[in-house]
């Protein structure tokens, strides 16, 4: 394994990227009918569908919080999403990722407007190729905005890592498998808060600093892609007729017809 070179003499990675290049990212908002909000993301070879339901009064009642909504994330991988078929059902890895994404989203959702409810986020990984938690979180906040759920900001997320001793952005599958470190980051541009952070491998404090800075820069770029996806979903024209008008005036008029 140690023979495989991940960065060639010209500084290019195996898929041709420079150290600070992201893979191609495409996001589409509003792709499902039943879900209250949804987003689909392709990130390199990753393909992930996210559906949001809620807020909705949560049962059993003991789960209710009198002062806010709870956020329940379910991250799950399809059986065919990986090279060797994954047995259906939630494993420990999926439980952990569900938990950290849920906690990241709780920080940005303005949840005190919906006491006693739950906001449910379903992240379905259809094809996995390293970086699914970052792609999942990125798509999840787009789906939340599509669902009209009040949030502080969209949360972009991206990993940086270390391969062949070098700090690089957005590890792909082979880099993730044999690289030396991985650092997924979820970052809120509005507030500068880090809402998701994990790391495994080996970094010096200086390397961490560099990797974090690289991930953060990438997050700012991904934030733009998130915004573009939502703008494409809700095309507006100047002079649209009625959107801003309040509906209060109609009631008497229409009740007359029903008598």
Q: Is residue 63 a contact point for other proteins (CB under 8 A)?
A: no
Q: At what angle do helices 132-146 and 205-233 cross, to 10 degrees?
A: 40
Q: Is residue 26 a contact point for other proteins (CB under 8 A)?
A: no
- What residues numbered 140-199 form the site for other proteins, per CB under 8 A? 145-154, 189-191
The distance of closest approach from Cβ of residue 211 to other proteins in the complex, given in angstroms and rounded to an integer, is 25
Among positions 27, 41, 55, 73, the unique one binding other proteins when judged by CB under 8 A: 55
Could you tell me if 184 and 201 are in contact, meaning their C-beta atoms sit under 8 angstroms apart?
A: no
Report the b/e string of 114-128 with b at 16+ CB within 10 A. Answer: bebbbbbbbbbbebb
- What residues numbered 223-252 form the site for other proteins, per CB under 8 A? 227, 230-231, 234-251
CA distance 137 to 202: 24
Residue 65 is given by DSSP the state: B
Q: Is residue 99 a contact point for other proteins (CB under 8 A)?
A: no
The distance of closest approach from Cβ of residue 182 to other proteins in the complex, given in angstroms and rounded to an integer, is 20
Taking every pair of C-alpha atoms in the chain, what is the biggest distance, in angstroms?
Answer: 83
Stretch that binds other proteins, among 97-105, 111-119, 158-166, 178-186 (CB under 8 A): 111-119
The distance of closest approach from Cβ of residue 226 to other proteins in the complex, given in angstroms and rounded to an integer, is 9
CA distance 71 to 120: 6
Query: What residues contact residue 211 under an 8 Å CB cut-off, 6+ apart?
Result: 160, 161, 162, 167, 181, 183, 203
Q: Is residue 24 a contact point for other proteins (CB under 8 A)?
A: no
Stretch that binds other proteins, among 99-107, 121-129, 178-186, 193-201 (CB under 8 A): 121-129
Q: Is residue 7 a contact point for other proteins (CB under 8 A)?
A: no
- What residues numbered 34-53 form the site for other proteins, per CB under 8 A? 34-37, 45, 47, 49-51, 53
């Amino acid at each position: 394994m140690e023979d495989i070179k991940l960065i060639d003499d010209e500084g290019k990675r195996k898929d041709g990227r420079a150290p600070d290049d992201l893979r191609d990212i495409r996001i589409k908002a509003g792709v499902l009918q039943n879900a209250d909000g949804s987003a689909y993301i392709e990130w390199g070879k990753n393909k992930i569908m996210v559906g949001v339901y809620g807020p909705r009064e949560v049962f059993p009642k003991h789960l209710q919080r009198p002062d806010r909504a709870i956020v329940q994330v379910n991250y799950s991988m399809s059986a065919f999403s990986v090279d060797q078929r994954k047995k259906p059902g939630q494993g420990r890895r999926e439980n952990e990722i569900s938990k950290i994404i849920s906690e990241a989203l709780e920080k940005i959702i303005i949840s005190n407007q919906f006491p006693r409810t739950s906001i449910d986020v379903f992240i379905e990984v259809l094809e996995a190729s390293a970086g699914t938690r970052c792609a999942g979180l990125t798509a999840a906040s787009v789906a939340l905005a599509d669902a009209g759920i009040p949030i502080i900001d969209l949360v972009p997320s991206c990993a940086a890592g270390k391969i062949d001793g070098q700090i690089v952005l957005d590890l792909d599958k082979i880099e993730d498998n044999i690289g030396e470190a991985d650092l997924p980051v979820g970052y809120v541009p509005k507030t500068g808060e880090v809402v998701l952070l994990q790391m495994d491998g080996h970094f010096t404090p200086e390397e961490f600093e560099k990797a974090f800075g690289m991930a953060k820069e990438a997050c700012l770029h991904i934030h733009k892609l998130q915004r573009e996806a939502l703008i494409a979903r809700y095309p507006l024209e100047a002079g649209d007729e009625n959107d801003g008008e309040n509906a209060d005036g109609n009631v008497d008029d229409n009740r007359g017809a029903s008598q």
